[in-house]
Amino acid sequence: MPSVVNSSLLPESLRDDFPILHQTVHGERPLVFLDSAASSQRPQQVIDAVSRVYEHDYANVHRGIHVLSERSTDAYEAARTKVQKFIGAKYDHECIFTGGTTASINAVARSWGDANIKAGDEILLNPMEHHSNLVPWFQLAERTGAVIKHIPLTDDGRLDLSQLDDVLTEKTKVVAVTHVSNTLGTVNPIAELARRAHAVGAVILVDAAQSAPHLAIDVLALDVDFLAFSGHKMCGPSGIGVLYGKESLLSAMPPFMGGGSMIGNVALDSFTPAGLPSKFEAGTPPIAQAAGLGAAIDYLSEIGLDKVAAHEHALVERAYAGLSEIEGIKILGPSPEHRAGLVSFVLHQPHAHDIAQLVDQRGIAVRAGHHCTQPLHDSLGITASTRASFYLYNTPAEVDALVEAIQEVATMFKPTGRKRRPQ
């Protein structure tokens, strides 16, 4: 493949910020990390921010009237303000710290869902959703008697909006949709879906687990009601995520967890909840993780999400072009113009897990399985796929290494026509 000098690529020197990338595996193989959609790596700046809290400032937040507690509380609340600016929210108290995307979506399904959904109401999903944006709604439907509906997909793995009117009706109370599919890479038209959902009186929840790390998000411009994402996929620590909700919705919702910090007042047999955001942050929160998430936001913002997205787009175009040439490959999802920086595929032979194992031997980390999108894999008639996902620290040379490795695997397993295919 030609070595393209592409002005949309970020400088390779930013890899120096990520200590974990500078290692060899399986002997002398340089690590090629193409599994950031599962969890990204973090720069030294984030590692230092977390260490600094533990080394200098750590105490429980919002509780002690002593210097360390004040410092921890300041760092924790400063991170909230960074999140607010990062997604363009109107108020910082609309940004709730949770354990991650899964926790955020469950919180909405429990709290908003139980208060607003009744038997016969419809919940609109689609087959490309991650289990985290399916199962909490199935559970809500089980509790309430609500009905699950799906927006069909086009053959190339996009939402088929030509059929939206059939499934989005006055009965629809919530549309839950991913911004970017973690398997197909499809970027969904969130602003349009929000407009259409609001036109029938429904709310929209956006799973931004795969978009917040990669694309600039403006919740006001998109006009979404709820947005969920995770720190660990965007250069931040694990164990922290965000639930954004419009103030009017969050204010009317009951707390989904009871305990310390979320109360205004407690008597022997009753309580009053605190205001936002504490109402939804019961117990000791992820304190050092919040400081790390704040540092990750600083890091990404300094580079610029537009540049991150352009970089990944150049990589995914290169991967798509290279992989498409391999005989017997099927790439899942749409052409690069409609996708973010990941590509999943299947070969006639071997199975996805074997592919991942074989390329791991060459130092290349990819993911294999159903990527928590089992209904999508079922609908495509496959049980598993192999996924390579790119982030700001990946390079064209790494994409080429992937393509070369997959080409080798495909050649190894090429059916001869005479012998039985290897199982």
Residues with active-site annotation? 372
Residue 237 lies near ligand PMP (rule: CB under 6 A): no
Which residues are CB-neighbours of 87 under 8 A, at least 6 positions away? Answer: 95, 212, 217, 218, 219, 227, 242, 244
Query: In the structure encoding, which two tokens stand for residue 282, read together?
Result: 């019961």
Helix axes 287-303, 67-87, angle to 10 degrees: 40
| Helical segments of 121-212, H only | 135-144, 164-167, 190-199
Find how far residue 44's CA is from the centre of its chain: 22
| 258-277 positions binding ligand PMP, by CB under 6 A | none
Q: Which is nearer to ligand PMP, 212 or 401 (CB)?
A: 212
Residue 389 lies near ligand PMP (rule: CB under 6 A): no
Minimal distance in Å, beta carbon 318 to ligand PMP?
A: 22
Whether the link from the prior residue into 254 is cis, omega within 30° of 0, is no
Q: Which DSSP category does 233 fall into?
A: G
| 353-382 positions binding ligand PMP, by CB under 6 A | 372
Residue 344 lies near ligand PMP (rule: CB under 6 A): no
Residue 132 lies near ligand PMP (rule: CB under 6 A): yes
Minimal distance in Å, beta carbon 417 to ligand PMP?
A: 39
Give me the sheet containing 342-347, strands edge to edge.
Answer: 329-332, 342-347, 385-389, 367-369
Residue 207 lies near ligand PMP (rule: CB under 6 A): yes
Task: Please pick, from the candidates 72, 73, 101, 172, the single residue that binds ligand PMP as defined by CB under 6 A.
Answer: 101
Q: Strand 342-347 relative to strand 385-389: parallel, antiparallel, unpaired?
A: antiparallel
Minimal distance in Å, beta carbon 320 to ligand PMP?
A: 20
**Which region among 1-9, 164-172, 205-213, 320-328 touches ligand PMP (by CB under 6 A)?**
205-213
Which residues are CB-neighbours of 421 under 8 A, at least 6 positions away? Answer: 348, 349, 413, 415
Mask of contacts with ligand PMP, 146-185, x by CB under 6 A? --------------------------------x---x---
Q: Which DSSP category does 320 fall into?
A: H
> 125 has which bridge partners?
150
Minimal distance in Å, beta carbon 66 to ligand PMP?
A: 33
Residue 87 lies near ligand PMP (rule: CB under 6 A): no
**Which region among 42-50, 129-137, 283-291, 337-345 touches ligand PMP (by CB under 6 A)?**
129-137
Task: Please pick, from the candidates 209, 212, 242, 332, the single residue that binds ligand PMP as defined by CB under 6 A.
Answer: 209
Query: In the structure encoding, which two tokens stand for residue 374, read together?
Result: 């089992």
Task: Please pick, from the candidates 40, 73, 102, 385, the single residue that binds ligand PMP as defined by CB under 6 A.
Answer: 102
The secondary element (H helix, E strand) that includes residue 101 is helix 101-107
- Reference 280, options 292, 263, 296, 265; nearest CA is 263
Task: Please pick, from the candidates 130, 158, 246, 318, the single residue that binds ligand PMP as defined by CB under 6 A.
Answer: 130
Task: Please pick, from the candidates 100, 136, 292, 363, the single residue that binds ligand PMP as defined by CB under 6 A.
Answer: 100
Q: Give the residues lining the site for ligand PMP (CB under 6 A).
A: 100-102, 130, 132-133, 178, 182, 207, 209-210, 230, 372
